Structure 1
């Protein structure tokens, strides 16, 4: 208490007792590619008529060196920054997927991503991206991870394990570029002997097929994996509607076509397994699925937006309640935790993320003597029980039509 010695008016600033929980970001991506630091690429100004070996137009190929060292993680906020750190579009097969992924991310609504690459070892060894993923662990804002161009089992498993460990991230997995739909459906069959995908994981999403885009390096159209474009759609939907909205029925900006045109009956075999289709719908290339890999096997987390909303709530409460650590574990603390958590969940409900006509129908927060008996408090723990009613997407919109007798 202050010591007042002279008569007068004194104004003091006191804590409000309220520490609002701010929602964490959900749209920052982490991309990791695999290519050499020094690449041999076609010379864009090559002229076969030039015979002077000192003329830069004489050589059919040139050497490009990536300015960023392998394994170094760079924050990228626009494609110009990517070009400065990792070069732009190089007509080189291993570099191309990462460039198109980052470009597609920004083109579709992304604003921030962290990018790194690893140098593949000599064949037949596979690129190891675990070192980069470990560096990603310290970057709290990353909510989406992908490895553009690494459609291999080891990369898929590493991404899956990383997201399950972190608890607040989802991975966008890639398929290889299949020659035809029949081969793809066989490879994507979870019961097939050739399937190299994780059987199920509610922290991952898989999209098929590849998309066609314009490649500035070769000045032709090429097929590329869609992970970067999809991550951009996540960011766009998050900004426009909220993380609770399924990132589906959305056009893919920059996509000119698809590698394989899927029929409705073909998608019927993929959707229950959590393979999200990319299809041409009414002349637009759209994401036509919103499930986690494994689909029905993932139970209450079979929908991607449900998983991502839980990640958002978990991450926001985790970050927003750090002030409570080492506070006296008493009813005053319990009341503050209840009040602040309920206020945060009310904003989630008001944004449309929770189901119910009233906040009390959408969630509950319980932190009291019942959840914190003496034995619990003796362990230095304060326990809060939270229940939320998630809004599921209208995946199947059904109209029942019938005839009525005329008058």
Structure 2
């Protein structure tokens, strides 16, 4: 309603004419699904947890508390820089997805837009891998961190695992038939997942004198959060120290590391001087465009940010001024990313483009109630293999030797 001016004087009105800044979507909140130390606590609820003490209060009851893969992962998450996560306790349910008519298990995290990382610590079967990857692929705003089996071998990790029909038990044997598993252990191809091996040894948070092997997904999710806060989501979460890790359940040789890297398995490695570090930042995708984890996570953040930041556009008149406003706001956001080092290019034009004009919005598109904006970005990719060519100068003759560090 227009303001009525009845008395002579000066009137000041606030009018929104400038750009609407797009605030980058969060990337460091994790969602963990599994069995809590107290299996009946807060069943199938997405409980927000901001520190280890709060997790203990919510999910650990009684005097004698025993750790589970879920509790070890949450502890590792906060020890490695994580600040906020959502925990879904599925109790004694055999499946991550639950079996009831209501939304249960992993599906509960669909309600939480804040989650950008999902994991089911200790669930290392093909069915669980598929559930996590399908969840991330359908949500499109998060990645799945997968644990390799604790006792996996290099050969098994390079072959995708599958589950086929149950095998009938031999005569005289009791119990239902179990599923037939292939020799492979690796999760299927996906640009929304990352696969880690081996498990880490750590002191049990409920028994500081006892060393236990823990699935790495919690520690890794914490490293994601730590790197996001110190460097940004565009920095690969690798070559980073794994806190709260005393050793590795399966030490790897340099040759084994090379084989696993080519299979899309991100390894955790011990260095005599530097300690235990994450030594891989690849997705499970066979597509070279989505090979690197930081590229996938950067795109998740950009897509989520643009989607949230341009919501005001819905139902606005689809005219030239609206298109200019969209170009202005999106370009300003991408310009900040470029200046922060997330995009590669000597100039803005090399780093990104935003196109929203008559070419992308012909009359038939406008008549359909659509506004189409085409955006392109050039993400920074990691330097995985650092090669030094060392020359030996002797008597005027130069001999060269190529040394690679990967």
Kept after mapping to 1: 8 A contact 2:97/2:107: no
Q: Which residue of 2 aligns with 1:247?
A: 237
Aligned to 2:214: 224
Tell me, in whole angstroms, the C-alpha distance in 2 between the residues paired with 1:337 and 1:386. Answer: 11
Q: Is the 8 A contact 2:202 2:213 kept in 1?
A: yes
Cα distance between partner residues in 1 of 2:61 and 2:81: 19
1:184 aligns with 2:153: yes
Match of 1:28 in 2: 29
- Say which SS state the counterpart of residue 369 (structure 1) adopts: coil
Q: Equivalent residue for 2:177?
A: none
Distance verdict in 2 for CA 1:132–1:27, change over 3 Å: same
Shift of 1:197: 3.5
Supply the RMSD in Å over aligned alpha carbons.
2.0
Contact preservation (8 Å) 1:204, 1:292: yes
Indicate which of 79, 83, 92 corresponds to 1:107.
Answer: 79
Does the aligned pair in 2 maintain the 1:27–1:143 contact within 8 Å?
yes
Conservation of the 8 A alpha-carbon contact between 1:73 and 1:132:
no
* Residue equivalent to 2:7: 6
Deviation (angstroms), 1:70: 1.4
Q: Secondary structure at the match of 1:398?
A: strand
1 CA distance for matches of 2:26 and 2:79?
19
Residue aligned with 1:142, SS: coil
**Offset, 1:160:** 0.3
The gaps in structure 1 that reach 5 residues or longer are: 39-65
Aligned mates of 2:63, 2:183 — CA distance in 1: 33
Name 2:296's counterpart in structure 1: 307
Which of 239-248 and 168-177 deviates more?
Answer: 168-177
Contact residue 36 and residue 118 of structure 1 kept, 8 A:
no
Name the structure 2 match of 1:165. 138
For these two proteins, the number of residue pairs brought into alignment is 369
Does the CA contact (< 8 Å) of 1:34 and 1:149 recur in 2? no
Taking a change above 3 Å as real, the CA distance of residues 229 and 276 of structure 1, as seen in their structure-2 partners, is: same
Change (3 A) 1:381 1:90: farther
Where does residue 291 of structure 1 map in the other structure?
282
Partner of 1:76: 49
Deviations 1:224-250 (A, max 9, x none): 111000000000000000000000000
Rounded Cα–Cα distance in structure 1 between residues aligned with 2:159 and 2:291: 16
TM-score (norm 1): 0.86
Please give the per-residue CA displacement for 1:164-214, whole angstroms capped at 9, x wherever unaligned.
Answer: 001110000012210xxxx51122122674124332111000110000001
Q: Point out the structure with the larger strand share.
A: 2
Alignment partner, residue 268 of structure 1: 258
Query: How far apart are the structure 1 equivalents of 2:133 and 2:139?
Result: 10
Contact 1:89 1:217 in 2 (8 A): no
Answering whether residue 327 of structure 2 is matched by residue 368 of structure 1, we say no
Give distance in 1, aligned partners of 2:4 and 2:372.
38
Residue by residue over 1:7-33, the C-alpha shift from the partner in whole angstroms, topping out at 9 and shown as x without a partner, is: 221111111242111001000000011
1: CA distance, partners of 2:74 / 2:230: 20
